[in-house]
Amino acid sequence: MTMLKEGRPTAPVAVADAHMAPATVTGNRALMLEEALIFEIGSTDTTGVDFAPAPKVASRLAGLERRAIGLPGLSEQETVRHYTRLSRQNYAIDLGLFPLGSCTMKHNPRLNEKVARMPGFADLHPLAPQSTVQGALAVIHELAEWLVTLTGMHSVAMSPKAGAHGELCGLLAIRAALEARGDARSVVLVPESAHGTNPATAAFCGYKVEDIPATPEGRVDLAALTARLGPDVAAVMITNPNTCGLFERDLKTISDAVHAAGAFVYCDGANFNAIVGRVRPGDLGVDAMHINLHKTFSTPHGGGGPGSGPVVLSAALAPYAPLPFVEKQGDTFVLIEEESAQDHHAGTFGRMVAFHGQMGMFTRALAYIMSHGADGLRQVAEDAVLNANYILRSLDDVLDAPFGDSGPCMHEALFSDRGLADGFTTLDIAKGLIDEGFHPMTMYFPLVVHGAMLVEPTETESKAALDQFIMALRSLAHRAKAGDEALKGAPYHAPRRRLDETLAARKPVLTWEAPTLAQAAE
Which residues share a beta bridge with 455? 100, 413
Q: Amino acid letter at 357?
A: G
Q: Give the per-residue pLDDT at 59.
A: 64
Instruction: Round to whole Å and give the CA distance between 311 and 301.
Output: 18
User: Closest by alpha carbon to 301, among 98, 87, 96?
Assistant: 98
Instruction: Find the domain containing 238 and state its range.
Output: 112-368
Instruction: Round to whole Å and give the CA distance between 420 and 119.
Output: 55
> Does 28 map to a domain?
no
Q: Give the per-residue pLDDT at 303.
A: 58
User: Closest by alpha carbon to 477, among 392, 408, 409, 397?
Assistant: 397
Question: At which of 320, 342, 368 does a domain end?
Answer: 368
Q: Give the per-residue pLDDT at 61.
A: 63
The answer to whether residues 154 and 239 belong to one domain is: yes
The answer to whether residues 502 and 425 belong to one domain is: yes
Question: Do residues 226 and 196 lie in contact, with contact meaning Cβ atoms separated by under 8 Å?
Answer: no
Domain CATH for 329? 3.40.640.10
> Does 26 map to a domain?
no
Residue-by-residue pLDDT tens, the chain, 522 positions: 333 333 333 444 444 454 556 667 877 888 788 888 998 888 888 887 777 776 666 666 666 777 777 888 898 999 999 999 999 888 888 899 999 987 899 998 999 999 999 988 888 888 899 999 999 999 999 999 999 999 999 999 999 998 899 999 999 999 999 999 999 899 999 999 888 889 999 999 999 999 999 999 999 999 999 999 999 999 999 999 999 999 999 999 999 999 999 999 999 999 999 999 999 999 999 999 999 999 999 888 765 567 899 999 999 999 999 999 999 999 999 998 876 555 667 789 989 988 887 899 999 999 999 999 999 999 999 999 999 999 999 999 999 999 999 889 999 999 999 999 999 999 999 999 999 999 999 999 998 899 999 999 999 999 999 999 999 999 999 999 999 999 999 999 988 889 888 898 899 988 877 777 666 565
Half-sphere exposure of 283 (CA within 13 A, CB side): 10
Q: Amino acid letter at 221?
A: D
The answer to whether residues 316 and 419 belong to one domain is: no
> Does 516 map to a domain?
no
Question: At which of 304, 339, 368 does a domain end?
Answer: 368
The answer to whether residues 274 and 152 belong to one domain is: yes
Q: Give the per-residue pLDDT at 451.
A: 97
The answer to whether residues 196 and 138 belong to one domain is: yes
Q: Give the per-residue pLDDT at 458.
A: 95
Question: At which of 335, 368, 401 does a domain end?
Answer: 368
In angstroms, the Cα distances linking 302 to 138, 222, 230, 293, 445 are 24, 36, 40, 11, 22
Question: Do residues 294 and 274 lie in contact, with contact meaning Cβ atoms separated by under 8 Å?
Answer: no
User: Closest by alpha carbon to 277, among 371, 105, 151?
Assistant: 151
Instruction: Round to whole Å and give the CA distance between 426 and 448.
Output: 15
> Does 45 map to a domain?
no
Question: Do residues 309 and 160 lie in contact, with contact meaning Cβ atoms separated by under 8 Å?
Answer: yes
pTM above 0.75, yes or no: yes
SS3 label, residue 466: helix
The answer to whether residues 140 and 209 belong to one domain is: yes
The answer to whether residues 321 and 386 belong to one domain is: no
> Does 291 map to a domain?
yes
> Does 468 map to a domain?
yes
Which residues, other chains included, contact 1 with Cβ-Cβ below 8 Å and sequence gap of 6+? 12
> Does 417 map to a domain?
yes
The answer to whether residues 300 and 434 belong to one domain is: no
The answer to whether residues 349 and 437 belong to one domain is: no
Domain CATH for 415? 3.90.1150.10
Question: Do residues 297 and 109 lie in contact, with contact meaning Cβ atoms separated by under 8 Å?
Answer: no
The answer to whether residues 278 and 415 belong to one domain is: no
Q: Count of CB atoms within 10 A of residue 512's CB?
A: 10
> Does 30 map to a domain?
no
Count of domains for the chain:
2
Instruction: Round to whole Å and give the CA distance between 77 and 95.
Output: 25
The answer to whether residues 323 and 399 belong to one domain is: no
The answer to whether residues 280 and 352 belong to one domain is: yes
